[in-house]
Structure 1
C-alpha cells in the first residue's frame, strides 16, 4: 500500500508572489498579481497533489491580469537547480550541439533564393557567433534570402542584433530595453563590422513566422519589419516581448518573471500580447512556398 504526500503549496505561492511583487517590470500589475495569488491560495484553489497541476493553475492566474506570456510557473520533470536561471542551461547546450549551433539548414533554391533556418532558438552569442557567422556569410551571395523562424522559441537579444547586422548596410538602432531595476534604459544596435560577408540591406528579404515563434525570435522579425527591411510571411507570433529571469521555488518548479520591456524606436511599442503581425498572412506550413513565390516575382521585376 502506498501513501501519497500532498504538495505543500503555501511556500511556493508565497515565494512566487514575493518575486513577482519585487521584480516584475510593471509595479502596479505586480501587486495585483501577487494579491491574486495570495487570495487564490486562501480560497484553496491551489490545494492539489502534484507540482505539474499547480504550475498550470498558477500560470493561468499569473497571466490573467495582463496576459504576459513570460510570467509563468514552469514545471520541470527533473529537479531544477536552486541557482537563478540555471534550470534550462544543460538542455539548451544539448539543443545547441544538435542543431549546428542554431542554424540547422542552409539551402539554395532555384533563382538564387537562399533559405536559412534559425532554430530551435537564438543561442547565447558567445556560443552562436561562429556558426551563425558561417551560415550568414554563406547566404550573402544569394539574390534573395528567406529566414525561417517558424520553429524558433526565442533566446539572446545580442544574437538578434548580430543576425540583423548581416542584413543591414549600416549601424542601426534596433530596439531599447526599459528595466524596472534602477529604471535603466539600454539600446540595442546592429554592429558596425561583422565577421564574414553581409547579405546587406538592399536585396529582397523574407522572414517566416508561426504561432510558435516567440520572444527574441519575435524581436528579430519585428525589428526587421519595423525598419522596412523584411517582409514577414506566415502566422501571428505568440507575443512575448518582456525579457525575464527564473527562480527555483520548488525542486520541480521555476517561476519566470519579466524584469524589462522592449520599446521599438520606430513603432514606440512592441509585440507583447499582440504578436508580430505578418505582412503576408498564411498558414505556417505554406509560408516557405509563399515567400519563395514573392521572392521570385520580385527578382523577375
Structure 2
C-alpha cells in the first residue's frame, strides 16, 4: 500500500466518523486528529492493510477508549453491504459454536447452569437453540447464566433471553439513543414458546473481563431490573452498537451510531463495565454462585 492510498483511506474513515459517530463533537475531533496525523506522515509507513488498521484503530480509540470504534482488516474482501455480510458471518460462526449454547447442565440442589459463548447470536439464526436451552432450565430452582466468555450479541436475542427470565407482561428493558436523540425502545416479548424460568426464582449471572457488548447488555439489564445477582469481575465496557462501512477491499470501519441506555438509571456501562454485585475472580465465580444458591435454599422440612 502506497502512502497516497493510505492517506485516502484515512480521510474516508475521518469523514465517516465525523458523520456517524454517536457523539458528534467527538467524531469531529477524531476526524481532525486523523487528518493531522496523516499530514504528519504517521500512516505513510503502513505499507500493508493490517498495519494501517492497527494504527488507525489506536488513534480512533485514543479519544475515549471506545472499543467498538475500529478499522478492521479482513483477509477476505469486505462486501459493500457489511451488515448483511455480518449476519452471514454470524450464521457460519453459529454453526461452528452450537448457536452460542456452550453448556446446559444440572448442578446439585436443582441448580441449572446455562453457558453462553462466544455470542448471543441473532434470534433468526440461533433463536430455536436458545429457546430449547431456556426450556431445559425452566424447572430448576435456581439458574446460573455464565457470560464470562460472551463477547457480544444482538439486542433482540437479549430481549428473548430476558423474556424467559421475567413475567408475562412485557417489560421495558433498555433503549438505544442515536446522536440526534432518536430513541428505540427494547421490551420483552408478550409470548415465547414453552415454560419460562420466570421472575421470582434466584438468578445469578457470571461475568469477567471478556464479557463485552451484548453479553454486558444482558448482564446490565438484569442487574438494573433487580432480577439477577452478578458474580465475578467487572466487564469490558462496550455499550455502543455499531455499523460497518467498507473503506477498502480489505478494510472495514466499525463506527458506533448509538448508545445503550437504561431507562432506570439513565446510564450505561460504556468504559466502566458492569460492576459485579458479588466480586470474585472470574475463574472462581461459578463455584461462588453455586454456593450462594445452595446457601439461600430454604431448610428441608423435618
- Do Structure 1 and Structure 2 share a fold, with TM-score over 0.5? yes
- 1:171/1:189 contact within 8 Å kept: yes
Pick which of 34-43 and 246-255 moved more: 246-255
Structure 2 residue 183 is matched with structure 1 residue 211? no
- 2:49/2:73 contact within 8 Å kept: yes
- 2:175/2:260 contact within 8 Å kept: yes
Pick which of 95-104 and 170-179 moved more: 95-104
| Whole-angstrom distance in 1 between the partners of 2:20 and 2:275 | 29
* SS of match in other structure, 1:177: strand
C-alpha displacement of 1:205 = 0.4
* SS of match in other structure, 1:104: strand
C-alpha displacement of 1:12 = 1.0
For residues 174-208 of structure 1, the C-alpha deviation after alignment (integer angstroms, 9 at most, x for no partner) is 00111235x32111111122111100111110111
| Whole-angstrom distance in 1 between the partners of 2:101 and 2:298 | 29
| Whole-angstrom distance in 2 between the partners of 1:66 and 1:99 | 32
C-alpha displacement of 1:284 = 1.5
C-alpha displacement of 1:88 = 3.7
C-alpha displacement of 1:82 = 2.6
Indicate the residue corresponding to 1:73 in structure 2: 71
Structure 2 residue 31 is matched with structure 1 residue 34? yes
* SS of match in other structure, 1:111: coil
- 2:202/2:293 contact within 8 Å kept: yes
* Aligned with 1:187 (options 167, 185, 188): 185
Structure 2 residue 188 is matched with structure 1 residue 173? no
* SS of match in other structure, 2:80: coil
- 2:91/2:125 contact within 8 Å kept: no
Indicate the residue corresponding to 1:230 in structure 2: 228
State how 1:235-254 maps to structure 2 within 5 Å: 235-254=233-252
For residues 117-166 of structure 1, the C-alpha deviation after alignment (integer angstroms, 9 at most, x for no partner) is 11111111112221111110110000100001111111110110110000
- 1:106/1:117 contact within 8 Å kept: yes
* SS of match in other structure, 1:101: helix
* SS of match in other structure, 2:205: strand
Indicate the residue corresponding to 2:22 in structure 1: 25
| Whole-angstrom distance in 1 between the partners of 2:81 and 2:138 | 41
C-alpha displacement of 1:285 = 1.2
Q: So what's the TM-score if we normalise by structure 1?
A: 0.94
For structure 2, list consecutive stretches of 5 or more residues without a partner in the other structure.
none
| Whole-angstrom distance in 2 between the partners of 1:21 and 1:15 | 10
| Whole-angstrom distance in 2 between the partners of 1:206 and 1:102 | 19
Indicate the residue corresponding to 1:11 in structure 2: 8
For residues 183-238 of structure 1, the C-alpha deviation after alignment (integer angstroms, 9 at most, x for no partner) is 32111111122111100111110111111111111010000001111011111111
Pick which of 135-144 and 88-97 moved more: 88-97
C-alpha displacement of 1:258 = 0.6
- 1:81/1:248 contact within 8 Å kept: yes
C-alpha displacement of 1:290 = 1.0
Indicate the residue corresponding to 2:98 in structure 1: 100
State how 1:39-50 maps to structure 2 within 5 Å: 39-47=36-44, 48-50=46-48
- 1:95/1:120 contact within 8 Å kept: no
- 1:107/1:115 contact within 8 Å kept: yes
